[in-house]
Structure 1
Amino acid sequence: MKSSSKKSAIKWLLGGFTAFTLTISLAGCSQTAEESPELEKTTDASLAETADYVPASADGPAQNVPEPRLPISATEKSEGGAKATLEYFWEAIDYGRLTGDTTYAELVSSDTCALCSDLISGWKRVYEEDSWAVLHGKMALKVQDVNTEDEAKESIAGISFIMTEPAVDFYEAGKYLEEDSFDTESSADWWAELSFDETSERWQIEWIGVEDHLSEDQQ
């Protein structure tokens, strides 16, 4: 792998590059109830994985990747519920980075979340174009602070956290893309805003991103 120069896979994906010809939309998520996995499908621990997990490699993308499970605690209108939802979201993004299936991330993404939409559409496009990622580890979250409050009959939560991305190799049609791969992990301070949907009884991510960009997006 080449030197990463402190870059990250997320910045690479959102910036796009010619080999993958990614087109990232800032219109937000277009999730509907029919397109999202049912809650019980993500929480039923009795659904055992029947095939062995095969990590991604130069030979091809990962196979039989364990599906993320939305924990029951994520349905609680509490700080713990908001935190569990955020952790699930990044597990679902990791799943999408390994498979191209981003429906699990859509489950907790609001249609106002631009970065959610970018990640969901971006990783889906990568795999549609016969490309894949080899992750050298998982996303690691260190939650620093969680605040919840009721505002205009709506429960909202703000979460500050440090996210560390693993090193990653990118492949297209079996070709290793050295210039677009990252050989070291990277960390940054992030912020997320969530709201609690009383109808679905779960938290939805309304905004997520690097803290430095928060004030810019709110102007």
Structure 2
Amino acid sequence: MFLTHARQRARLAASALLAAAALALTACGGDAEGQPDPTASPATSAAAQTPTPTPAATPSYKPASADGPAENVPLPKMPKEAKEKTHAGLEAFARHWYALLNYAYESGDAAPLKAITSGDCERCQMVYKGLEAQESSTWTIGGEVQIQQISTNFAADSNGIYQLPVQLKRMGATHYVDGEKHSTDAPGGLTLDLFMARYEKGEWTAQDVGVIKGP
């Protein structure tokens, strides 16, 4: 009987020692209450505490007015469809080209238009030169070109150039020089352009823009 009681006391003592050891390990390693882990990397802790930078605000678009030229003009994005060698693709490309033409006139930046236009486009060269000659003290309100209708024609000539008639209308415009109103243009009548483009290496390039019918 004595041995039995002695063995029970020994087992209880061993259990107490194991429990104390477990508590000590828990205290050293951190617990579920969020105690710090001394083995954690200082770099990791610093990274976790670094605040996420706030994205810079996009400058807001300001159209041209009597107070000055347009500012932060949004650049038109080419739709995915404009990469397809289909009539729908060519039409989407033509619409994008004229959107970039309007962008060039409003912002003074012709680089995006040049990027999708052949250097052989003579009419385009006239546009570029006009923009380059324009001084910062000169600007225009309105005057954008609006597409009214696009032909369903989709056939290439012997040189692989597709010709697409495009009906346009130019909006009225007011021109300013040195902050003073200089002249105004009434809305134009309907005109008909012949938009010519070539498809190579998975994309369209404007080759030239002729005038079938003027205002």
* Common topology (TM > 0.5): yes
Offset from partner CA, 1:185-207 (integer Å, 9 cap, x none):
33212211111122xx2211112
Shift of 1:148: 2.6
Amino acid aligned to 1:204: T
Larger radius of gyration: 2
Q: CA RMSD in A?
A: 2.3
**1:93–1:137 distance in 2 versus 1, CA, 3 Å:** closer
- Equivalent-residue separation in structure 2 for 1:136 and 1:192 (angstroms): 20
Q: Give runs of ≥4 in structure 1 deviating > 6 Å.
A: none
**Aligned twin of 1:78:** 86
**Aligned twin of 1:177:** 182
Matched, 1:195 2:198: yes
**1:195–1:136 distance in 2 versus 1, CA, 3 Å:** closer
**Aligned twin of 1:164:** 169
- Percent identity between matched residues is 23
**1:49–1:118 distance in 2 versus 1, CA, 3 Å:** farther
- Equivalent-residue separation in structure 2 for 1:186 and 1:101 (angstroms): 27
Matches within 5 A, 1:113-124: 113-124=121-132
Offset from partner CA, 1:31-87 (integer Å, 9 cap, x none):
xxxxxxxxxxxxxxxxx9823221101111111211111112111122122111111
Matched, 1:87 2:88: no
Q: Does 1 or 2 have the higher relative contact order (CA < 8 Å, sep 6+)?
A: 1
**Aligned twin of 1:104:** 112
Taking structure 1 as the reference length, what is the TM-score of the superposition? Answer: 0.65
Shift of 1:168: 0.7
2:155 to 144, 148, 151: 148
Matched, 1:67 2:75: yes
- Give 3-state SS (helix, strand or coil) of 1:149's partner: coil
Offset from partner CA, 1:115-162 (integer Å, 9 cap, x none):
112112312332x4521110166523410233233746x4x3110121
- Equivalent-residue separation in structure 2 for 1:65 and 1:157 (angstroms): 31
**Aligned twin of 2:8:** none
**Aligned twin of 2:211:** 210
Matched, 1:132 2:139: yes
- Equivalent-residue separation in structure 2 for 1:189 and 1:52 (angstroms): 34
**1:65–1:84 distance in 2 versus 1, CA, 3 Å:** same
**1:185–1:89 distance in 2 versus 1, CA, 3 Å:** same
**More helix per residue:** 2
- Equivalent-residue separation in structure 1 for 2:175 and 2:114 (angstroms): 24
Contact 2:102 2:144 (C-alpha < 8 Å) held by counterparts: no
User: Which deviates more, 132-141 or 66-75?
Assistant: 132-141
